[in-house]
Amino acid sequence: MKTIHLWLIACCILLSLNSSAMARNHPENEWLAAPNVRITVGQQDADIVGRDNRVLQAAVDYVGNLGGGTVEVGPGEYLMRDSLHMRMGVTLRGAGEDTVLKKDVETRSLLVADGDFGECAVTVENAEGFEIGYGVHVATKRVNGFHTICATILNKNVNYMTLSRPLNADCMMADEAYAATLFPIISAYHVEEFRIENLTIDGNREKNGIINGCRGAGIFFYQGDAGVIQNCTVRGYSGDGISFQQSNDVQVLDCVVEKCAGGGIHPGSGSQRAVIRGCTSRENDKDGFFFCWRVRGAVVEDNTFIGNGTVGISIGHKDSDNVIRRNVIADNAGGGVQWREEAELMAAHNIVFTENTLRNNGSFGLYVGGETNGTVIRDNIIECAGDDSVGIRIGSKTGSLLVENNRIQAFCQVSDERTEIKN
């Protein structure tokens, strides 16, 4: 009997391998190996009908569980009380400006018991407005950024709520710990190979508090590899517009991010090989584009960063081997492009900045700060107004640097603060 049993297992394995080979060798059988489901969501005349995040999530989960495919979201405004959580192999496609995912009004309460690191629950002072299935952000006046969490409320007993993720730090009452219904409108955690297309994100900024870009944005990835965001608009979010952390091979293409309370586009925390192309980041309160930590191998090209509250582009902690080319960087209040102050082992090395146009950005076009090496600034147009304007400012600790063939119009074209030139 044992011999027969082993024989049957071997036959099943061979049949499975033969089926896979048939699917590869015969195009008409491709559906066997690569399911491609299509489902529609809308406010009428759709496979799933509704007006909030629950119908969107049902469609994405359905398609993801069947191996991948497309969720097409029809015109209308969809009220978001939790993130739409992306799944592997799913394309989420809207009808452009006619498909709007709008953040609901925030509810906030202090905690009445300390939230402990690793605990999947919180106890709030006032539970009104917190419901099962809602998204929630837990933080304190001291605990922010990566140490906070966004989670979904799984259960509720009076003012005690269990959560879908454990707390990432001690959230103590002494630090004014709180829970708030803040979350990314679309999020992708621990997934890969997915797309978000032709959607409008409305952050409802006036009715929501601020969330840090390391844990939230209008569209947010955490370990979301090979994700693509294309032809999307993010407006009025109470934080960054688009942020992705520890996510490799991300593409952000032909998107608009505007009037957000944080920065525009924020790649960070070890993300590699990102491509940001053809985007517009304008009138955000902070940087138009923020290289966070350890962003490497990125290509940032053919974008417009205009009218942002601080600098057009900020480069910093270990953000090495990136190419920034053919962008328009204009009217940013804090300056055009800034290399942040970092010691040599943590500076942004080997940045190629070429063929960009910078106009009317604060008091400087470029400021190369920190102990960075291998910087190339070539073939750019830099125009600055004002009696104290500097086209290119080179900080006192800057290492090797190549500046050539730039057309500069400023009170001071190049200010080199180094006492020892290290080219």
Average pLDDT over residues 308-316: 98
What confidence category does residue 11 fall into, taking pLDDT thresholds of 50, 70 and 90? very low
Q: Has residue 24 got a pLDDT over 90?
A: no
State whether 174 and 186 are in the same domain.
no
Tokens representing 329 are: 């960087």
Same domain? 372 vs 399:
yes
Please state which of the ranges 19-33, 58-72, 97-111, 400-414 shows the lowest mean pLDDT. 19-33
Residue after which a domain boundary falls, among 149, 180, 211: 180
| Assigned domain for 260 exists | yes
How far is 140 from 269, CA to CA, in rounded Å?
22
Q: Is residue 79 part of a domain?
A: no
Residue with tokens 């750019």: 380
354 and 330 within one domain: yes
Q: What is the mean pLDDT of residues 313-333?
A: 98
The region that residue 405 occupies, defined by phi over 0 for left and psi between -120 and 50 for alpha, beta otherwise, is left
pLDDT (0 to 100) of residue 421: 60
pLDDT in tens, 196-226: 999 999 999 999 999 999 999 999 999 999 9
Domain shared by 272 and 399, yes or no: yes
Where is average pLDDT lowest: 32-36, 87-91, 217-221, 305-309? 32-36
User: Helix H segments across 291-389?
Assistant: none
**Considering the entire predicted model, what is its pTM?**
0.90
Counting Cα atoms < 13 Å in the Cβ hemisphere of 237 gives: 38
Residues 257 and 352 in one domain: yes
Look at the chain and report how many structural domains it folds into: 2
Residue 92 domain flag: no
pLDDT digits (tens, 9 = 90+) for 154-193: 999 999 999 999 999 999 999 999 999 999 999 999 999 9
Range of the domain at 140: 108-180
Same domain, 259 and 199: yes
> In this predicted structure, what is the pLDDT of residue 387?
86
Residue 137 sits in a domain of what CATH number? 2.40.30
Q: What residues have CB less than 8 Å from 367, skipping those under 6 apart?
A: 335, 337, 338, 339, 390, 393, 395
